[in-house]
Amino acid sequence: MDAGFLAAERGARLRAVLVIAAAMSATYGVAAFVDLLRPQTADSEFEIEPVVGLLGDGMPVVLQVIFWSVLASWVAVLVLWGLRGKVFGHFSDVGLDSPRRQRMMLTMIAVLLLPYAIFPLTVIGQHLGVLLICLPSTAFGLWAVHRMQRYRRMPAWLPLAVFGWGAVFAAGFGATMNIWYLDYAPRYLFDAADRLRMLHTVNFGLALDAGVFEELGKAAGIAIVYLLWRRHIDGVVSGVVLGAAVGLGFNLVESIEYIGDASGGVAYFQYFMRQSLGLMAAHTAFSAVVGAGFGVARQLAEPKLRRIAIACGLFAGISGHFASDVVFPWFGRVSHDWFHADPAMGTVILPPLALAVMQGPLVGMCLLLLRRGLRTQADGLATELRAEARAGFGVVTEAEIPVLLRPARRFWLRVVMLRRYGLAGFRALGRLHQAQLDLAAHRWHRARGELDELAADEHVLRERVLRRRREVRTQLAREATR
């Protein structure tokens, strides 16, 4: 493929990522503007009335640091744009999508996003012990999510990258938007005559605010992967895995915050609900549905249908999040009235039951999407593996196809290699299988008319398979001579 076209395509996708970063930063600005216009009240609860609510004396310092960091990021981006010729070279001497311009866009993206990392990193730094407690269960969740890919797998660093996005940027974005809402909403909704109703309305709005902005923050990370590394995404399976990974990252930081700020039995209960029973529900399930929308979009050639698929997944994730945030507090209140004589029932039995009723359908939807996606992927890969075997390039043989299409056989064969030829043989065979599945997936996407423009050429993938096959033979020969 023409190098100029590839450079232009990379530049266009990087500009889209810059738009995402700019939109996230601008959303903070809109929230600050709404706060700036908030009604002033004479009520004693709102004695602190600075121009910007988060700059009040009673506010945590970290929120003020975030505010000034966002303003500084805007100034830095404007300065970078003004000095682009001196800092990154004269663009008139290079193409529109040159490496220099791409470096400038990457720098701008980092500058715009970094303020959102302040809050989650502060939370983690304040509760390092809780982080260590939550890491084993979160690592297990990541391992389980990675194992959902029974055939072709994305590079391990990709789910880890979106996990980091969820833990840092998505968590920071969601938290700051929630904090802004809690600062200005009581003033807009202030009703001295009916404070209880006002509180109910504020809490209802907070559930909506969290559902929208937290899911948008997580979806932004999936969208960036979809734009820059689409060639590694095959369909619904990849989308669910990416969504679940970003949700696990978000859930980790939120768990640290809630457990760290609680004490005694409340902290144990938070761990039970967030890092044990509800680990694969809540944020993990919400964003898995969002990711499924991106996975469906990956298999659609029509841009309009892609946007519809992504919007549907996002709507489903936001709706599930909003419904859970509304129903769970209500259920907590009524269950206390219903079972006040039996605290064990209201603590141990009812919350898991509520979790199953409220989030079970969403988890079930993710599992059904995953099952359907795996079947579709298996059928497509089987067709292309047989076609590649008939082509006679020596890349795939008929005898290898049943092994490639059955994860248990692949794993057992690798275990045999490990026992006979050591760790090097185990790794070499795994790389061979992955290269063969990469080639089959490439052919599958080409046959469906959904090949990514930045994907490697088919002959390059064949050469990679042949190279991996030679590595396996080298390991076998080396062990045979010992």
- pLDDT over 80 (residue 80): yes
54: closest CA among 125, 141, 136, 115?
115
257: closest CA among 243, 271, 277, 244?
271
How much is the pLDDT for 413? 93
Interval 247-294: pLDDT, tens: 999 999 999 999 998 877 788 888 988 999 889 998 999 999 999 999
How much is the pLDDT for 46? 47
The verdict on 235 and 366 lying in the same domain is yes
Report yes or no: 156 and 281 within 8 Å, Cβ to Cβ. no
Residue 419 lies in a domain: yes
Which of 379, 402, 437 is the endpoint of a domain? 379
The residue assigned the tokens 């100029």 is: 4
227's tokens: 């734009």
Count Cα neighbours of 240 within 13 Å in the Cβ-side half-sphere: 27
Radius of gyration of the chain from Cα atoms?
26
For residue 94, name the pLDDT band (cuts at 50, 70, 90).
very low
Report yes or no: 202 and 189 within 8 Å, Cβ to Cβ. yes
H helices of 89-190, in order, are: 99-113, 118-126, 128-147, 157-165, 171-188
The verdict on 57 and 150 lying in the same domain is yes
* Residues of the chain above pLDDT 90, percent: 61
C-alpha–C-alpha distance, residues 387 and 391, integer Å = 6
- To 10 degrees, what angle do helices 195-228 and 282-298 make? 40
Which of 323, 355, 379 is the endpoint of a domain? 379
Interval 345-366: pLDDT, tens: 666 777 788 888 888 889 999 9
How much is the pLDDT for 422? 87
Question: Cα 289 vs. chain centroid, distance in angstroms?
Answer: 11
Interval 143-188: pLDDT, tens: 999 999 999 999 999 999 999 999 999 999 999 999 999 988 988 8
- What value does the mean pLDDT of the chain take? 88
How much is the pLDDT for 228? 94
The verdict on 345 and 403 lying in the same domain is no
The whole-number average pLDDT for the span 189-208 is: 85
Residue 119 lies in a domain: yes
The whole-number average pLDDT for the span 225-233 is: 94
The verdict on 397 and 421 lying in the same domain is yes
C-alpha–C-alpha distance, residues 300 and 152, integer Å = 19
230: closest CA among 311, 154, 145?
154
SS3 49: coil
How much is the pLDDT for 43? 52
C-alpha–C-alpha distance, residues 288 and 69, integer Å = 31
Total of domains in the chain: 2
Domain that holds residue 444: 392-481
DSSP state of 230: G
Interval 446-471: pLDDT, tens: 998 888 888 888 999 999 999 999 99
Q: Phi and psi at residue 474, in whole multiples of 5°?
A: -60, -45
The verdict on 354 and 411 lying in the same domain is no
Which of 379, 406, 422 is the endpoint of a domain? 379
Q: Phi and psi at residue 151, in whole multiples of 5°?
A: -115, -110
Interval 313-325: pLDDT, tens: 999 999 999 999 9
The verdict on 23 and 53 lying in the same domain is yes
Report yes or no: 355 and 285 within 8 Å, Cβ to Cβ. no
C-alpha–C-alpha distance, residues 17 and 224, integer Å = 6
DSSP state of 452: -
Report yes or no: 365 and 287 within 8 Å, Cβ to Cβ. no
Report yes or no: 261 and 214 within 8 Å, Cβ to Cβ. no
Q: What's the pTM value of the predicted model, to 2 decimals?
A: 0.91
Interval 39-76: pLDDT, tens: 876 554 545 556 666 676 667 888 889 999 999 999 99
The verdict on 314 and 413 lying in the same domain is no
